[in-house]
Structure 1
Amino acid sequence: MHFVTGGAFNGKSNWVRKQYHLDDHEHSWYSSYKEDEIPVLNSQKITILEGVEVWVRQVTRSIPADESREKWQSLVREWLKWESEDRQRKLVLIGSDISKGIVPIAAEDRLWRDTTGWVYQDLVSAAERVDVIWYGISQTLK
């Protein structure tokens, strides 16, 4: 599993396309920004899930934060199992960093920001590779 994060509109998606030569390989790309649901992973070798923070927000609106984090931890376990079933499979998760700047005034927005931070910590812990993209430039953290 590969987790890619960084600021909004900082080139994360383009970087992933280039990094994985997606123009040359079959892949599945799901985006919360296009209102895609979190998919059940299929037989594609490369699967990209873009907009993790939006999916976190959707989940936190329907269940409490602790249950939301547990749901994400369960998804991570499923995804790692999916990858382990075929050495050529790769899951790439792209999530915008929403932890910078002013703390939101609305309680719902603070909960979303906090839960996203916890989910990202879990993703970083589980991922074999983690990259931060700022202005199209990558920095590998793990």
Structure 2
Amino acid sequence: MHFVTGGAFNGKSKWVKQHYELYAAPHLWVSAYQGNSVPENTESWLELVILEGLEIWVQEWNSQLVIHERREKWRELLQSWVQWEKEAEHRKLILIGSDISKGIVPMSAEERNWRDVTGWAYQDTARMAEKVNLIWYGISQKIK
């Protein structure tokens, strides 16, 4: 699994497309930014899967689950995605999420909770990932 993070509109998606030469390669791109739901079923996945907008999916759970349930749901999904990747040699999973930890701490408890859970989700993701890249202003920095 490869986790790519960085600021919003800093070129994460473009970097992934160039790095993995996705312009010609068959792949499945699931984006929360395009309104796609978090994928819980991996049955129809291609060998290369990109999941984009992790923070949006975490935010969608705000009204449905309490904090510890959101983190547990993320861990369960992450485990199932990693298991899918390990089941076949040529499978590759790339996760893209915007860093929302910078800047002013939100006033509302709901937004602070979203920021906290997203941070924990990213820590879990980085821990399980084989590679982690940080993208700022279109420039990649390998951090794992």
What TM bracket, shorter-length normalisation?
A: over 0.9
Q: 1:54 matched to which residue of 2?
A: 56
2:81 corresponding residue in structure 1:
79
Q: Which amino acid aligns with 1:4?
A: V
Instruction: Give the secondary structure class of the aligned counterpart of 1:131.
Output: strand
Task: Provide structure 2 residue ranges, at least 5 long, that are not aligned to the other structure.
Answer: none
Q: Following TM superposition, by how much is the alpha carbon of 1:23 offset from its aligned partner in structure 2, in angstroms?
A: 1.0
CA distance in 2 between partners of 1:115 and 1:52 (Å): 11
The list of structure 1 runs, each at least 4 consecutive aligned residues, that deviate by more than 6 angstroms after superposition, is: none
Identity %: 54
What's the offset of the Cα at 1:61? 2.2
Q: Distance in 2 between matches of 1:58 and 1:14?
A: 25
Work out the CA distance in 2 between the residues paired with 1:122 and 1:137: 24
Which deviates further from its counterpart, 87-96 or 38-47?
38-47
**TM-score if structure 2 supplies the norm length?**
0.96
Map of 1:126 onto structure 2: 128
Ranges in structure 1 where 5+ consecutive residues have no aligned partner: none
* Count of residue pairs the alignment pairs up: 142
What's 1:23 paired with?
23
Q: What amino acid does structure 1 have at the position aligned with 2:19?
A: Q
Q: Is the 8 A contact 2:28 2:45 kept in 1?
A: no
Distance 1:59 1:25 in 2: 32
The AA in structure 1 aligned to 2:58 is V
RMSD: 0.8
Structure 1 residue 82: Cα displacement: 0.2
| Structure 2 residue matching 1:93: 3-state secondary structure | strand
Partner of 1:11: 11
Relative to the length of structure 1, the TM-score reads: 0.97
The CA distance in 2 between the partners of 1:63 and 1:6, in whole Å, is 26
Report deviation, 1:59: 1.4
